[in-house]
Amino acid sequence: MPKTTTVGQYLIHRIQELGVNHVFGVPGDYVLGFYDMLVESDLHVVGTCTEAGAGFAADAYARVSGLGVVCITYCVGGLNALNSVAGAYAEKSPMVVISGAPGLGERDRSPLLHHKVRDFTTQLEIFEKVTVASVAIEEAGSAPRLIDETLEECRRRMRPVYIELPRDIVDKRCPAPQPWKPRRLVSDKPALKEAVAEAAEMLRSAKRPVILAGVEIHRFGLQNTLLKLVKKLGCPVAATLLGKSVITENHPQYMGIYEGAMGREDVCRRVESADCVLILGAFMTDINLGIDTANLEVAKTINATSERIAIKHHIYEDVKLKHFIDALGEAKIGPRRTFTFKHPKPRPYRPRKNAPMTIARFFQRMNEQLHEKTVVICDIGDSLFGAADLTIHRHTEFLSPAYYTSMGFAVPAAIGAQMGNPRLRPIVFVGDGAFQMTGQELSTIAKEGLNPIVFVLNNKGYSTERFINDGPYNDIHDWAFDKMPELLRAGFGCEVHTETDLEEALEATKRHRKEFCIINVHLDPYDRSAAMERLGKRIGKRV
């Protein structure tokens, strides 16, 4: 390997080394030099319609395959991606944002360069608010160190970072990359020992312990470690909404989603009557906790996250999640009789001829539709709450922005999810309002030859809000969503009014298995899932 390279090549080398094969973005003049380098590399550059779409795609790519990269131009590009980066921050999805910027050499000469908002540092300062590390590369010599430190932060904290590349720095020479050496996770050993001993003692003396698993198990790749622990403890396990699918839902000890009074009653009762709740990698967010309806006594909980381990009312700051779970797996706790959850047999679904489609029946039907080769991607509203009640009987990936709840996530996320794992055919549930935000990314899906099945749950408005506070502002224009293929000259579309229509639509998706399908599912504006009704009432009360 040569002793030097360019700053741009250095960054590309590192990204590839971290397992990334796709970069999402929209080109713009301040980043074109770097785009040329991307095109010459083995990375596949995926041009999206908008930077917001690129951000959501990169976020989903990260959730499926470990790290996502978005590459955009200065301000008009970067600021458009901001909301999706903020979502990745809120939900701990590791994303690298690479932004072009005006050349350092041209800034003095012409202080009012196009795309500039206020100062040349404005975009960097804004991204500092939604990332765990941000840097503008202003000198080639220090570029390798700055790039490495920034990427390390992304990997260590599983949250977005921001790298700004002035366009005249991209092809400057810098030292060639050394082999990537991730910093070792370090726990304070005596603290780890004490925490594990304390937790083990709590679990040992508990009669009815429960595990509650969250999304960090997935982010930090701890699924197998969790499985070992679940087996050893023999106790029931539930997941949070954001963490849905961190454990195979047909696992005999798995009960379902816990979200306080918002979720299934049997799960709620079992979790809240436990005498010890081991919470692993879960965010205690309002939606995860059923909008304040969760009732978990702190004195009974062991709450371990990537940020800290809390046992009852005290905290161990310097103990890493992975070390804690690993050590707990080795500790003497069992044996204990293994709990087996009797998964209720799903009611067999028989389509009723020409019966109008409802949310409840739709998800009942969908439950039969999922298999190992699908990834379910939910947008906000009943696309998420209705889907939460799905009992996925085989191992299925499940993606949704269940905490940050930004509408418009699902369609662009399908791009990233399928590129992150090309063996999966995404099933997208998206509301009509959310589709109107980012649905044009079906264009990217068509261009890249992807084949998701997109169900638009069309109730002619913002229905979560209808249940919180109804008003004329919740009604939106009714698109013929099934006509998207005509606009895009690609894909297959159809309408569903009845249960009979749905069967036909599902058959059609099998015939059209090489291209995207969009199904316009007409629903009554006031139809909703049981979960949505509970949620709406609950949020409404707090206003």
Residue 338: CB minimum distance to a copy of itself, A: 33
Cα pseudo-dihedral 477, 483, 486, 489, rounded to 10: 100
Residue 143 in the binding site for a copy of itself (CB under 8 A): no
* Binder among 150, 187, 285, 303 for a copy of itself (CB under 8 A): 285
Judged by beta carbon, residue 136 or residue 366, the one nearer a copy of itself is: 136
Identify which range of 199-207, 361-369, 420-428, 469-477 contacts a copy of itself by CB under 8 A. Answer: 469-477
Residue 36 Cβ, how far from a copy of itself at the closest point, in Å?
6
Distance CA 401, CA 55 (A): 13
Is the preceding peptide bond at 160 cis, omega within 30 degrees of 0?
no
Position among 5, 80, 303, 305 found at the interface with a copy of itself (CB under 8 A): 80
Tally DSSP H helices, then E strands, for the chain: 21, 21
Q: Which of 534, 528, 372 is nearest to 457 (CA)?
A: 528
Binding to a copy of itself in span 330-389, by CB under 8 A: none
CA distances for 54 relative to 27, 58, 261, 312, 475, angstroms = 11, 6, 36, 41, 28
Instruction: Kindly state the smallest distance separating residue 195's Cβ from a copy of itself, in Å.
Output: 23
Q: Toward a copy of itself, which CB reaches closer, 40 or 266?
A: 40
CB crowding 308-332: b at 16 or more within 10 Å, else e: ebbbeeeebeebbbbbbbbbbbebe
Q: Crossing angle, helix 7-17 and helix 143-157, to 10 degrees?
A: 30
Task: Compare residues 238 and 446 and give the one whose CB is closer to a copy of itself.
Answer: 446
Which residue, 132 or 505, is less far from a copy of itself as judged by CB? 132
Give the CB-side neighbour count of residue 156, counting CA atoms within 13 A: 16
State how far the Cα of 529 lies from the Cα of 457, in Å rounded to an integer: 12
Q: Which of 22, 63, 157, 167 forms a contact with a copy of itself (CB under 8 A)?
A: 167
What are the backbone dihedrals phi and psi of residue 123, each rounded to the nearest 5 degrees, phi first?
Answer: -65, -40
Residues in 231-260 at the binding interface with a copy of itself, rule: CB under 8 A = none
Structure tokens given for 80: 């458009």
Among 68, 408, 412, 431, binds a copy of itself (CB under 8 A): 408
Say if residues 177 and 312 touch (Cβ distance below 8 Å). no
Pick one of 474, 499, 523, 531: the residue that binds a copy of itself (CB under 8 A): 474
| Both tokens assigned to 64 | 């499926």
CA-to-CA dists, residue 461 to 475, 497, 535, angstroms = 4, 17, 17
Six token digits for residue 27: 């080109």
Binding segment toward a copy of itself, per CB under 8 A, in 135-143, 337-345, 420-428, 431-439 = 431-439
Residues contacting 184, CB < 8 A, separation 6+:
none
Q: Considering only the stretches 137-145, 201-209, 271-279, 436-444, report the one whose residues sit in contact with a copy of itself under the rule CB under 8 A.
A: 436-444
**Part in contact with a copy of itself (CB under 8 A); list of ranges 80-88, 175-183, 347-355, 494-502:** 80-88
User: Which of 333, 437, 450, 523 touches a copy of itself by CB under 8 A?
Assistant: 437
Scan residues 477-516 and list those touching a copy of itself (CB under 8 A).
Answer: 477-481, 483-484, 486-489
Q: Mark 106-135 with x for binding to a copy of itself (rule: CB under 8 A) and - for no binding.
A: x--xx-xxxxxxx---x--xx--xx-----
Q: Where are the alpha helices (DSSP H) in 108-263?
A: 122-128, 143-157, 189-205, 216-219, 223-233
Rank residues 18 and 76 by Cβ distance to a copy of itself and give the closer one. 76
Question: Quick check: 261 binds a copy of itself (CB under 8 A)?
Answer: no
> Which positions from 445 through 464 interact with a copy of itself, judged by CB under 8 A?
446-447, 462, 464
122 vs 498, beta carbon nearer a copy of itself? 122
Closest approach of a copy of itself to the CB of residue 1, in Å: 26
Q: Does 306 bind a copy of itself (CB under 8 A)?
A: no
